[in-house]
Amino acid sequence: MELRHLRYFVAVAEVGSLTVAAKRRLHTAQPSLSRQMSDLEYEVGAQLMVRTARGIELTAAGRVFLDHARLVLAQVEAAREAARRAAEPSKPSFAVGFLTGQEMDWLPEAMRILRDELPNMEVTVSSQYSPQLADALMRGRLDVAFMRPEAQTPDLVYRLVTKEPLVAVLPDDHRLAARDVIDPRDIVGETFVSVSNTAPALRVVINDYLERSKLNITPDHEVDNLAMAMSLIASTRGVAFLPAYARNFMPRSVVSRPLKGDAPTIDLVVGYHKANASPTLKLFLSRVDELITRGRRS
Amino acid sequence: MELRHLRYFVAVAEVGSLTVAAKRRLHTAQPSLSRQMSDLEYEVGAQLMVRTARGIELTAAGRVFLDHARLVLAQVEAAREAARRAAEPSKPSFAVGFLTGQEMDWLPEAMRILRDELPNMEVTVSSQYSPQLADALMRGRLDVAFMRPEAQTPDLVYRLVTKEPLVAVLPDDHRLAARDVIDPRDIVGETFVSVSNTAPALRVVINDYLERSKLNITPDHEVDNLAMAMSLIASTRGVAFLPAYARNFMPRSVVSRPLKGDAPTIDLVVGYHKANASPTLKLFLSRVDELITRGRRS
DNA sequence: GCGGCCCATGCCTCTGAGGCATGGGGTCCA
DNA sequence: TGGACCCCATGCCTCAGAGGCATGGGCCGC
């Protein structure tokens, strides 16, 4: 078995077709990929996929193997990054990631904490979606990230920063904008804007809230990012439930209102890889409470 | 990068020589291995080893990479085992490992707990040194093991079974055998038998105890297993500190005596992989307290 | 200073990954 | 019901790269 097998398998599993995976993802030929997958199954000693006229479907063993294969490939990337880091000790780096939109609230505090370290190291800052932040932490590309607690990340440790309430976001001339507080039942019949799987944790919170409110609302739109959300809210006169920090992105024609009653919250956490032995990370974590205290906004 | 590179690198790192690793471990030629290592370094983007006239020495990056490489290879093995397991759900298996020598005390209790499961599954039993048990748990080859808590095993969870006192083990006609209790200071000047790195946890406990007793004793012999220990004790008229269960292995000419005062203890734990979702493991763990209560011997 | 050991490089062989052709099987639609 | 289309497996061939042999440079120990 070689990493090539794992790479091929992950691609095939994700695409669901040898032909398409060969052509679109792996730039190889379908017969070659077919043989590689057969070789892999022979070496694992289990059938990983069922071939059908419509493509492939993973077996139970295949699904188990897929999780492991992804982990292995992530570990290989982490190995490479870790070796590179170790090879360049001249000016250590500390990489901080932010859930897009959270930089405004938390970057100043994070930099204040790291102030004393700054002359001796290179702090890099980036912003991404939460799943990508999780992936970067897993791969060793980030030391710490302000993110959502992502599922199925056993090697990541999360420290709660704040529980952020969701608010209703809607056009400023919407009939509901006259309310000081929005009852979720008022949303029935309105154009509803939700989020895609680029924000799985938020999606779960929104869906749970709708269920808790006994509302069977199917989203009219699902968006990938806040800018798109604002645009859709304004242009389709829709309503969305978004974390409060989304107010940082509202154009003039869009307003926010609190939700009535027990508003749902979503966690913002500081995440890091538990195997990360960086002394700067240790310092950072030791002052996280201070950052949280100073950084909170009601 | 391929797994081949990682396998080659780990072998080279462990042996310290391209020539010897190629010939003895990898069954390839030295020039070929040299090129593979160069390819690996090119792909990682860091120098992993320094070539000298005496062989190779790892760089800091190489040491970091070695840890990761070992992990990756272990992960691959775990992937294979997990897929095989998932492919054969017909009669589930439950694999129990024992620190060699502990079977006598704990196997009956373990089988009693699993009694109701036995008709529906295949329980396999094996015994090994504790580090090998840890490795097997990591690789998914074992579900649970009676072992020492091994260092640097973040993915393993340990539940304390018992704290086992160490006792002095010595020939029955040794001058100290007349004592009911052995003062560690009496060991000074005697042939002292310790253990090798096949039992790292025990070795640490022994060394800490010697240090705590302010005794600067260098072992005359280091043994790999209990049988060898007994043999050496008898044949060299030496003395060893061993866990109490070693009494299960004493020949007629060897006796044990308690240690005076605050005798050192070593933990016996039940270990398992935290990602192991086996329902039988869950059942087993829910009855571990019962096993411990029944299984303890003073 | 010389012999021996270790590693890197040149050059060649051969293995296996990959490509093309093709056919079997299944599905969908007219 | 039959034909078209899609997907995968297999036969056969090419060629890229892993591996082997020869050889030389550099270092170390005697």
What ipTM is given for this predicted complex?
0.51
What is the torsion angle, in degrees rounded to the nearest 10, for the CA atoms of residue A100, residue A101, residue A102 and residue A105?
Answer: 150
Nucleotides of C under 7 A from a protein CB: 4-10, 17-22, 24-28
What gap in Å lies between CA A162 and CA B39, rounded to an integer? 47
Contacts of B64 in chain A (CB under 8 A): 82-83, 85-86
Q: Which domains does chain A have, with CATH numbers?
A: 3-83 (1.10.10.10), 91-161+267-295 (3.40.190.10), 162-266 (3.40.190.290)
pLDDT at residue number B195: 85
Average pLDDT rounded to a whole number, residues B93-100: 83
**Is B77 within 8 Å of B135 (Cβ atoms)?**
no
Coil/strand/helix, residue B169:
strand
Residues in A closer than 8 angstroms to B87, CB to CB, are 45-47, 59-61
3-state secondary structure of B216: coil
pLDDT band of residue B89 (cuts 50, 70, 90) is: low
Res B215: pLDDT: 84
Residue B34 has pLDDT above 90, yes or no: yes
A164's enclosing H/E stretch is strand A156-171
- Please give the structure tokens belonging to residue B297: 């011997």
Backbone φ and ψ for A158, nearest 5 degrees, come out as -120, 135
What pLDDT was estimated at residue B114? 78
Answer for B51: CB within 7 Å of strand C: yes
* Tens digits of residue pLDDT in A217-230: 888 777 777 777 88
- Residue B51, CB, strand D, below 7 Å: no
Q: Helix count (H) and strand count (E) of chain B? A: 10, 11
Q: Which residues, other chains included, contact B140 with Cβ-Cβ below 8 Å and sequence gap of 6+?
A: B77, B78, B81, B82, B85, B273, B276
Q: Dump pLDDT digits (tens) for B251-268.
A: 778 888 999 888 899 999
Band of the pLDDT at B138, cuts 50, 70, 90?
confident
Enumerate residue ranges in chain A where pLDDT < 70: 89-92, 104, 117-120, 249, 295-298
Proximity of residue B31 CB to strand D below 7 A? yes
Nearest CB to B78 within list A68, A78, A82:
A68
B29 touches strand D (CB under 7 A): yes
Q: Which pLDDT does position A91 carry in this prediction?
A: 62
Question: Which residues of chain B have a Cβ shorter than 8 Å from any chain A Cβ?
Answer: 1-4, 6, 43-48, 59-65, 68-69, 71-72, 75-76, 78-80, 82-89, 154, 274-275
Identify which of B214, B164, B171 has the alpha carbon closest to the alpha carbon of residue B193.
Answer: B171
Residue A211 confidence (pLDDT)? 87
Mean pLDDT of chain B: 85
pLDDT at B119: 67
CB < 8 Å to A85, chain B? 64
At A288 the pLDDT is 82
What pLDDT, on a 0 to 100 scale, did the predictor assign at position A118?
67
Task: Determine contact, residues A247/A255, Cβ cutoff 8 Å.
Answer: no
